[in-house]
Structure 1
């Protein structure tokens, strides 16, 4: 009976102390003196077509008035459409205070299937 009481006491203390342990993995603190990033970093271009790296005026000069001109957070999207395809061009400033440049271009058919971007650019230029 005494042994059962000791076992119960040890088990109770173990559970009680285990609840006080807190997180076992320490959280890393940011290095002192380094500011936190507050600005949104624009995406880096991963495509290669005639619009990438150009400002919006280049697309406007090629295609005319866009179907849509939408501000999206720190970016801008211009959408151009024709009978062959729909083209979305996304613009972000490479750094604060700089002009926004095209960083990504999507093309699709009017039915919604993916389309070839350079072919769509050529089709919309005509």
Structure 2
């Protein structure tokens, strides 16, 4: 009788457990982001004046100590160029970060090209 009661209680409690299954979330295809500097030769190592000549006036110019970040954008992407002193010379671009205007990843060289397209005459 005790065994029958234990089984009955176990069956009753198993009905209380909610079974939830969620459908897998579809993710958008990843955009590859190269880690090299291919296609960035005119930007890596450039001065702020050179960047302004390539892309126009930056939308943001942030300075912190000897470091400087210039931000350029258009309808396609946002490019952050980080400039650091190179010895005693003028600061130059040592790192670039790029993203689409909605925050999605984009290839840095593609963003550089997209920013230059509007500037070509």
TM-score, normalised with respect to structure 1: 0.60
Task: Describe the SS at the equivalent of 2:53.
Answer: helix
Higher relative contact order (CA 8 A, sep 6+): 2
Residue 73 of structure 1, CA deviation: 2.5
Distance change >3 Å, CA 121–CA 68, structure 1 → 2: same
Deviation per CA, 1:20-67: give whole Å up to 9, x if none: xxxxxxxxxxxxxxxxxxxxxxxxxx8521311111111100111100
Gaps of 5+ in 1: 1-45
TM-score, normalised with respect to structure 2: 0.62
1:54-93 alignment runs, 5 A limit: 54-93=46-85
Whether 1:105 and 2:96 are equivalent positions in the alignment is yes
Does the aligned pair in 2 maintain the 1:52–1:104 contact within 8 Å? yes
- Structure (1 or 2) with the larger CA radius of gyration: 1
Give the root-mean-square deviation of aligned CA atoms. Answer: 1.4
Whether 1:121 and 2:112 are equivalent positions in the alignment is yes
Number of aligned residue pairs: give it: 80
Gaps of 5+ in 2: 1-34
